[in-house]
Chain A
Amino acid sequence: MLEFIQQLVNGLSLGAIYALIALGYTMVYGIIKLINFAHGDIMMVGGFVGFFSLTVFKTNIVVAMIAAMLTCAILGILIEKVAYRPLRNSTRIAALITAIGVSFFLEYVTIFLLGPSQRVFPDTAFPIKAYNIAGLSILNKDVFVVVSAVVLMLILQYIIKWTKTGKAMRAVSLDQEAAVLMGISVDKTISITFAIGSALAAAAGVMYGVYYSTVNPLMGIIPGLKAFVAAVLGGIGIIPGAMVGGFVMGLLETMVSGYGNSLYRDAVAFGVLILILLIKPTGLFGRDTGEKV
């Protein structure tokens, strides 16, 4: 029983990281129906900005995180302007291929500039405290990731539901042309979406660095894919869905490793994706809208 509760704790904190990345994924998809393949790599850039802020500029973790979020917000806007905007009216496949290109670009420019090896996050950035509660091991960083994932989701939900910008986002997501007619600047709204999404990815990148102690140029690929699965699982485009999807993925993977064969963990994750896509492509929280001809 104790072991099971420990596995739950493990699963939740892993899930929180997936959820954080999935939030950005789902937001961008919700607005422009683009799988931003480069999202995981923006997370990587965020991780590196945090790393340099901590080591070169000797800032504390909060400043590092803000620096990473700002840098990536700008990077996100830039990527959207240069690579995705010209493709807004072309096929989804063209947009996806471009996204793959952007993902490669970020990975290999980083390798070109910094080399392929991993960098170690200074452990002074976030002093680890362990709480031992009745045989359970809970770390302050576990609490930190779970709480920040939930808080960020709530803030995001607030922005989308209650602010003017959020209203604009929902309008653009529903019908771009009608939104323009209502006097909404589509370009601006999409830029803001990318900025927020990328900032979230950057936050996830810094947390990932803190949590697993290292960053490397290809670190975004696997969490990016997993987070994508989480977003689809929860219903892509739906903010609370991404959150729940992330936690479900984390718990699922933990249970597969803990009670099954850890080697099939990734296969199970991808299997879930395929099952969801086949049975309920709109995800757990999605509504079926039907296809317009």
Chain B
Amino acid sequence: MQIKSKFIRFCIDVLVLTALFILVQYFITTGLLDQYYQINLASMCINIILAVSLNLINGFTGQLSLGHAGFMAVGAYASVVMTQMLGQPFIVGLIVACLAAALGGFIIGVPTLRLRGDYLAIATLALGEIIRVTLQNIDYVNGPAGILGITKMTTWPWLFGATVFTVLVVVNLINSSYGRAIISVREDEVASELMGINTTKYKVMAFVIGAMLAGLAGAMYAHFFYIIKPDTFNFMKSFDILVMVVLGGLGSTTGAIIAALFITALTAVLQSFPAIRMILYALILIIVMIYRPQGLMGNKELSRQIFGRIWGGRK
């Protein structure tokens, strides 16, 4: 059952992804997937990007950040300023969004990442709020009212591309030597420092990449949902993303993806019971932490090998 050649494995990946892409595109063009499902599909993709990128910071690097929505806001605003106010094409908006959020991540990350654990969490929470308050006071972007009537540019190909790009970036980073250094920081910061790893460098690196991808998600969000305003990106949004990461597994990319899909679907199903949804979130956080603090998937990945083994085992 083992797939031998690396090349064949790569081809299968590409084939599966292309098939998925074409299938959904077909559903959209034939109208089988109506507007409601398209919106949920977009939410799912955006949430996957957010969860996977936050997982890089929280899960793989072990630095609890509660300000992810802040970077999303930076990306959203940067891209909208580019496309709506300066009339640039969407791709420029996306690139600027990524750069702006990455820069934001760098400026915030360098000083705060010296902090440990819970202090860092509170500091990032505070900085996320500062970003929001600042946006509220910038008249160029309409302050608290936000920007209305953003042209819809986020289409399925863009969403799909951005999601695949995010997953590729994170997976490849983790599987590289940088990734091993990043994981070693999570496992034992002091020990890895003794091994000659520049822990600050790797922490900042993960933080910047995570922020950049959150900015990408923000740009996607802004150009899909027609309106952005500072309040959209408050700390409740950061917590939403955290719930996904915790549920899926701190340190499992596939876990984050599955959890993002699950939470988005859950939100849609519980549309009529808002209080219950939040209580459920709370219980997820508490119960998962008590009984499975590494998250449902832990640091396991759902991969071909696992499928292969289970299939093989059963047969």
Contacts and interface: CB of A to CB of B under 8 A. Distances in A.
A273 B122 contact: yes
A286 to B, nearest CB: 12
Given A83-B290, A98-B289, A270-B129, A92 B118 contact: yes
Contacts, number: 116
Interface in A90-105: 90-98, 100-105
Contacts of A263: 133, 136-137
Chain A interface main SS type: helix
B285 A101 contact: yes
A94 B279 contact: no
Interface in B105-140: 111-112, 114-115, 117-119, 121-123, 125-127, 129-130, 133-134, 136-137
Interface residues of A, number: 42
B270 interface: no
B185 interface: no
A104 B122 CA distance: 16
B275 A111 contact: yes
A270 B282 contact: no
Given A105-B283, A277-B123, A94 B293 contact: yes
Given A274-B126, A278-B115, 4 more contacts: A93-B121, A100-B242, A104-B282, A109-B279
Rank and list the top 6 A-B pairs by shortest CB-CB distance, nearest first.
A101-B285, A104-B282, A270-B126, A105-B282, A108-B278, A101-B286
29 contacts: A34-B118, A91-B117, A92-B117, A93-B117, A94-B289, A96-B64, A96-B117, A96-B118, A97-B289, A98-B286, A98-B289, A102-B282, A102-B286, A104-B282, A104-B285, A108-B275, A109-B279, A112-B279, A232-B119, A266-B129, A267-B134, A271-B126, A271-B130, A273-B126, A274-B126, A277-B119, A277-B123, A278-B112, A278-B115
Interface of B: 58, 62, 64, 111-112, 114-115, 117-119, 121-123, 125-127, 129-130, 133-134, 136-137, 190, 239, 242, 246, 275-276, 278-279, 281-286, 289-290, 293
